[in-house]
Amino acid sequence: MKIMHTLKKYFSLYLAMFKASFISDLEYRANFFTRILTDVFWYVAQVTTFEVLYHHTEKIGDWDKYQMRVFLGLLFVIDALYMIFIHENLENLSEKVRKGDLDLLLAKPVNSQFMITLQKANTALIGNLLLGGGWLIYSLHSLGDFHFARLFWLILLIPCSLVVIYSMRFIFSASAVIFTRSENLQFLWWQVYRIGMRPDSMYFPWFKWIILTVVPVGVIVSLPARALLNPPEFFYIAWPVILVPILLYLTNRFWNFALKFYSSASS
């Protein structure tokens, strides 16, 4: 009963924060379009890279051009969801630490990790989600023999992917509490994330094992893509589900550890 009450409280708090974000985003209408444009360039970069490479080879890893398009479609959708709900919060954490704004969040009578993670939503990026979704549908349609019932796996696997991105990004961002100035560690996250933006099958077996387990960026897109493209395999479906509570627990431990290093910067 108490858990339900807490969940309800946090849900209504999140709704209020989401509404506030939406209103604030509407204030800068041009930003809506530039944010979409920015991601269009990113999509173009990803698609161009693989289209150019497939001009010279038939397969990369064990996937052909059409399967790679599905992989990219999933990448765009998962990335757009992450960008809408989480990205901006973690991106600004370093700044909050330096300016002392973190004090305000720590002083609130709610879980500080919750506030840091979900305080601001980037509603301008809903357009990107539509674009990414459009590309995914197009790429699935061009596969020809796709079983659309497999899309149901995404209901389970996309939230798992979001938790994996969140957890890894959170650990990079929370390091700002320890090191104070760590912008380049944040850029380092981008490089790690890039590993997951390529299909796991193109990596050497030992490296594939690492990115599916120790640094699980391979779980983010490769496993949902496998669930869509191949007949379901128990490990590929179960592993992300097992990983979610482990990663959430680790982020919470890391956050509490990092806070021990925090000395307020505000005067």
Partner 1 sequence: MKKSFAVFLKRNLAFAKLAIVSNLEYRLNYFVDAIVQPLLTTGIEVLLWFAVFQGAHTTTINGFGREYYLSYALWGAFFARIATSWMYEFRMIEEISSGSINSLIVRPMSFYEYYLSQLLGYKFITTIISMFVPVIAAWIFDLPTIYSRIPLAIVLCFYYLILVHTISFIVSSIAFHLTKISSFTVAKNLLLWILTGELFPLDLIPDPFKKIIITLPFSSGVFLPVGYITNRVTHAEFMQGFVSVTIGLVLLNFLGAVLWKKGLSSYTGTGA
Site residues, partner 1 (CB under 8 A): 28, 30-31, 34-35, 37-38, 41-42, 44-45, 48-49, 52-53, 55-61, 179, 181-185, 187-188, 191-192, 194-195, 198, 201-204, 207
Minimum Å gap between C-beta 54 and partner 1 is 9
Contacts of 43 (CB under 8 A, 6+ apart): 72, 76, 131, 132, 135
Minimum Å gap between C-beta 147 and partner 1 is 25
Minimum Å gap between C-beta 195 and partner 1 is 6
| Closest to 146 (Cα-Cα) out of 228, 242, 63, 212 | 228
What the block records as the tokens of 151 is 């899309």
Q: Classify the phi-psi angles of 214: left when phi > 0, otherwise alpha if psi is within -120 to 50, otherwise beta.
A: alpha
Minimum Å gap between C-beta 149 and partner 1 is 29
Q: Could you give the CA distance from residue 16 to residue 67 in angstroms, rounded to a whole number?
A: 40
What the block records as the tokens of 169 is 């990004």
Q: Classify the phi-psi angles of 7: left when phi > 0, otherwise alpha if psi is within -120 to 50, otherwise beta.
A: alpha
Contacts of 69 (CB under 8 A, 6+ apart): 47, 50, 135, 138, 139, 142
Is the CB of 12 or the CB of 48 nearer to partner 1?
48
Is the CB of 113 or the CB of 123 nearer to partner 1?
123
Is the CB of 204 or the CB of 235 nearer to partner 1?
204
Q: Could you give the CA distance from residue 61 to residue 83 in angstroms, rounded to a whole number?
A: 28
Minimum Å gap between C-beta 128 and partner 1 is 12
Is the CB of 79 or the CB of 113 nearer to partner 1?
79
**Coil, strand or helix: which one is 239?**
helix
Is the CB of 39 or the CB of 158 nearer to partner 1?
39
Is the CB of 54 or the CB of 146 nearer to partner 1?
54
Q: What is the CA radius of gyration of the chain?
A: 19
Is the CB of 115 or the CB of 195 nearer to partner 1?
195
Minimum Å gap between C-beta 202 and partner 1 is 3
Minimum Å gap between C-beta 235 and partner 1 is 22
